[in-house]
Amino acid sequence: MAEQPQVPANVPLPSLTLTGPSDLLAAVPYLLGFHPRDSLVLVGIARQGSRQTICCSARCDLPTVAAEAPATAAIVTQPIHAANAAFVVLVGYGPAHRVTPCVDAVQQAVAARGVELREALRFTEGRYWSYTCTGTCCPATGMPFDPQNSLIPTQMVAAGFVAYADRSQLDSVLDPVTGPRRAAMSEATHRLEGEPPEEEHLRTAGTESVRAAAAAADHGALPQDPAELAWLCLAVRDTRVRDEAWLRIRPENAEAQLHLWQWILRNAEPRYRVAPGALAAFAAWQSGRGALANLALDRVLGADPNYPMALLLRRALQCGLPPQRWATVVPEQCPGGTPFGAE
């Protein structure tokens, strides 16, 4: 699956000077949000006047057999067109027999799109090799990599970027709450289910509740009362109420809304996690956290493989659609309250 740059909302990507392979290797974990392993990572570069800027990135797992390399290349190169990349650089994390076929396939794929593969690296056990090196710049034993020799990590951290140790550690930020809070949520949900609201009341009161929660989140406040959280979980199971929350997630407040729906997802009982998870995924994507969006979608589709909103978002991510390309929709454009045709 394609995973786009991990760019926090309203935090611009700092101006990076990549002086060589070491700087590229140092930057990749911060673009993805985690340190990749057994992965193929493509970074697209666009030209803006005399400047060259990172416009997209994508990551997917390395295939286990060489015959799957073309399919992997097709996945990882999908964002190039939408992002208008002028050229790309590629890093394969893993052994040569798994990385090399993918590099060859990506080179053919980007050439077919009229895009140059400027650099291709293999990174294995702390050392790297360049596939574009035609001289003696890369010894047979590879070049050692030490991130402390690059200024990139310091620049990225100062700009607000984070790189988790691996993808599973990033995934853990979506884990359900435990202990007394889990028990309180179970009790509050059971109590609410004992007196289920009528559909009209659910939609009216639920819409008011998600509006209030979204507005509070924009100012840094998250719901804490288990009864309120249980009510929000129940309310957004209705697609019209969910869409009210969806329409309130915009690029300028996506980070705050991500905190809200991530928190609600973590508090929700298992049977109520689908809608909050999809909203968290959308907010993550709109805030530039492509990897976190995919992880949230994994959880949603694991619980409901046919949930339309999640399938729509997964397709957008797989196609490498930049968050800013998502059409702006206002409630008046959504008769019946269902944006984008996702029930």
Digit-by-digit pLDDT tens for the chain (343 residues) are: 555 444 444 445 677 778 889 999 999 999 888 999 999 999 988 887 777 888 888 888 999 999 999 998 988 888 787 777 889 999 999 999 999 999 999 999 999 888 999 999 999 999 999 998 876 667 888 899 999 999 999 998 988 888 999 999 999 999 999 999 999 999 999 999 998 889 899 999 999 999 999 999 999 999 999 999 999 999 999 999 999 999 999 888 999 999 999 999 999 999 999 999 999 999 999 888 888 999 999 999 999 999 999 999 998 887 777 777 775 444 444 444 455 445 5
Residues facing residue 39 across a β-bridge: 61, 93
What's the pLDDT at 3? Answer: 54
What's the pLDDT at 339? Answer: 53
| The pair of three-digit structure tokens given for residue 125, joined into one six-digit string | 């056990």
What's the pLDDT at 13? Answer: 67
3-state secondary structure of 21: helix
CB atoms within 10 A of CB 271: 11
Nearest to 262 by CA among 292, 242, 237: 292
Cα 44 from Cα 79, distance rounded (Å) = 8
What's the pLDDT at 328? Answer: 45
Q: Which residue has the tokens 């050229």?
A: 87
Q: Domains, the chain, ranges and CATH?
A: 21-163 (3.40.140), 172-341 (1.25.40)
- The H-or-E segment that residue 46 falls in is strand 39-48
Cα 184 from Cα 179, distance rounded (Å) = 9
CB atoms within 10 A of CB 311: 17
CB atoms within 10 A of CB 234: 22
| The pair of three-digit structure tokens given for residue 167, joined into one six-digit string | 């993808």
Question: DSSP letter string over 104-131?
Answer: HHHHHHHHHTT-EEEEEEEEETTEEEES
Cα torsion angle, 211, 216, 219, 224, sign: negative
Question: DSSP letter string over 192-221?
Answer: HHHSPPPHHHHHHHHHHHHHHHHHHHHTT-
3-state secondary structure of 98: helix
What's the pLDDT at 336? Answer: 45
Query: Is the pTM here over 0.85, yes or no?
Result: no
